[in-house]
Structure 1
Amino acid sequence: MKSGRHRVRAEELELTPMDSRHKQYHHVDIDPRIILDTYFGSQNNDLQEETMEYPLKQLHKAFTSGGVSGDTLIDITMGPTIFQLLSASEIFKEIIVLEHVETHHEELEKWLKKDPGSFDWSHLSKYVCDMEGKGEGWQEKEDKTRRAVKRVLKCDLTKANPSEPVVLPQVDCLYSGACLDVFSKHQDEYRSILKNMSSMLKVGGYLLLFGFLNMSYFKLGEHTLHILTYDEEFLNQALSDTGYIIQSLDLFSSKKKSDLLDYDHLVFVVARKEREI
């Protein structure tokens, strides 16, 4: 794969420690509404096409291709977001959301309960309705998603059972939205977290993974935060080592320049779990 900014070899990445200037976002006390307003709001968001619409298109494609299906999906996404669940609610009877940060857990519950002042996702709900072309209203789409989300659980991805102390049955599908990138301090930890997450997925089940290639930071308020830098070669090897067969790997080249974050490509992977590790 050819890419532009800060292209380095995989073996060089392996030796690169976490930048000590950049804290991990789950170790910084940031109002979850700052995260939502900065990256997911409807107003003047130049990144919407890439960081929101791109994964939504890929999820829709995965769910309508006929391969990814089942009864239960686990969602592990960076931030208190629900937009990635809108299409999943058409396929899965039960969605379980795992959230690492307590304040994010509370923000998700506000939306699920339709609390006044909860974050407005209507711009993306309308986008998904238009994409699916079912003539469904965006309010109906959101209510269907609320009904599908059965549980929101605290998690710790560094544990062998991320949902500890709750023990969940293995599920049919696992969606990971940039959490591996953000939580992993280095590539060995990425592999370890991926293994922990994968323990919740049935053999034969599907991992849907959204991430950023060759990214080095992102910003929230006054904070510049850590994100793991890795490339396509590393991602392929990490998935293979964790028992996956990649069904598809789609790359989206960055077209937007932003002071908030840097990356060369977005990546979306559909991978089938072939064996336990």
Structure 2
Amino acid sequence: MDCGPNKFYHKHAFNSRAYIETFFSDKPDMVFAEDSLKFPMMNFQYMFSSGFVKGNILIDLSIASIIHHLYSVCDIYKDIIILKLTENCNMETSRWKDSRTGAFRWTHASAHVSLLDGQSAQIEDKDQQLKASISHVISCDFDNENITYPVVLPLADCITTLGIIEAISEDEDDYMGNLEKISKLLKPGGHLMLIGLLNASYYVIGGEKFHMFTCDESFVRNALCKLGFVIDYCAVKRRRNESTAIDYKAIMFLTACKTK
């Protein structure tokens, strides 16, 4: 394992495929399924099936090339815009969307969401429905005030984000600045649905350690409140798996409404 300073996934060589194989696959030895797959999908399905979160445009900004949490979204939003920070992640996501040879298969995720929906016979339909709902896969850069510059996106009714802010933020000020840039993509009255790892500091891909900003539930709640969000729903699941690939203590799902 590399013993130097932890790397940042959006600045250094990051193998998106290795990341999803490690933390989101259906391999028998993949110990993170309850936290990385089932917990997010269960909470997304709960929020969207309740009719609490509605709208037309959804922007997703999540780490690597993960899309599993969006299977419940496509029942509500017919215009989904995915933002990716690296060309590698962009290409991997586009390869899946276009059903190209070698694309990562998310069949296990679509099957689980179909079971949650009580529609186990419609696994393939769910996959095609999500792909059809994704209008764009766009590169973004947090060094810009408008992270999609030169593209100006319409403000979203909902933003979903999984694992990205902790992965790119160096400290508290950096976290606040990155969260604010994400908030600027959201309409007043719109909802931010955030999934984050609590008290994490690293994860390992290909023998290399990557940085995670260490924060707890109180910090995330306070950060959102400072930016004018009202928290509507929060669920926290304590970690129970054992692995040295990552050191988080819990995973949090949070839905907040932007008031200004």
TM-score normalised per structure 1:
0.90
Alignment correspondent of 1:121: 106
The runs of at least 4 consecutive aligned structure 1 residues that moved more than 4 Å come to: none
Alignment correspondent of 1:218: 203
Alignment correspondent of 2:254: 269
SS of the residue corresponding to residue 168 of structure 1 reads coil
Structure 2 unaligned runs (5+)?
none
What is the distance in 2 between the residues matched to 1:211 and 1:55? Answer: 10
Give 2:66's match in structure 1, choosing from 73, 81, 91.
81
Deviations 1:153-181 (A, max 9, x none): 00012322111110011110000111001
SS of the residue corresponding to residue 191 of structure 2 reads strand
Give 1:52's match in structure 2, choosing from 30, 37, 41.
37
Give 2:140's match in structure 1, choosing from 136, 147, 155.
155
Structure 1 unaligned runs (5+)?
1-18
Deviations 1:77-96 (A, max 9, x none): 00111111111011101000
Alignment correspondent of 1:237: 222
**Conserved in 2, the CA contact under 8 Å of 1:24 and 1:225?**
yes
State how 1:163-178 maps to structure 2 within 5 Å.
163-178=148-163
SS of the residue corresponding to residue 260 of structure 1 reads coil
Deviations 1:92-118 (A, max 9, x none): 010000000101111111111111111
**Conserved in 2, the CA contact under 8 Å of 1:209 and 1:269?**
yes
SS of the residue corresponding to residue 27 of structure 1 reads coil
**Conserved in 1, the CA contact under 8 Å of 2:194 and 2:254?**
yes
Query: How far did residue 194 of structure 1 move?
Result: 0.6
Question: Is 1:29 aligned with 2:6?
Answer: no
**Conserved in 2, the CA contact under 8 Å of 1:157 and 1:197?**
no
Alignment correspondent of 2:49: 64
Q: How many residues align?
A: 257
Q: Which amino acid aligns with 1:42?
A: D
TM-score normalised per structure 2:
0.96
Alignment correspondent of 1:199: 184
Question: Is 1:228 aligned with 2:218?
Answer: no
SS of the residue corresponding to residue 26 of structure 1 reads coil
SS of the residue corresponding to residue 248 of structure 2 reads coil
Alignment correspondent of 1:94: 79
Alignment correspondent of 1:16: none
Query: How far did residue 256 of structure 1 move?
Result: 0.9
Q: Which amino acid aligns with 1:173?
A: C
What is the distance in 1 between the residues matched to 2:44 and 2:71? Answer: 10
Give 1:109's match in structure 2, choosing from 94, 98, 117.
94
Alignment correspondent of 1:42: 26
RMSD: 1.3
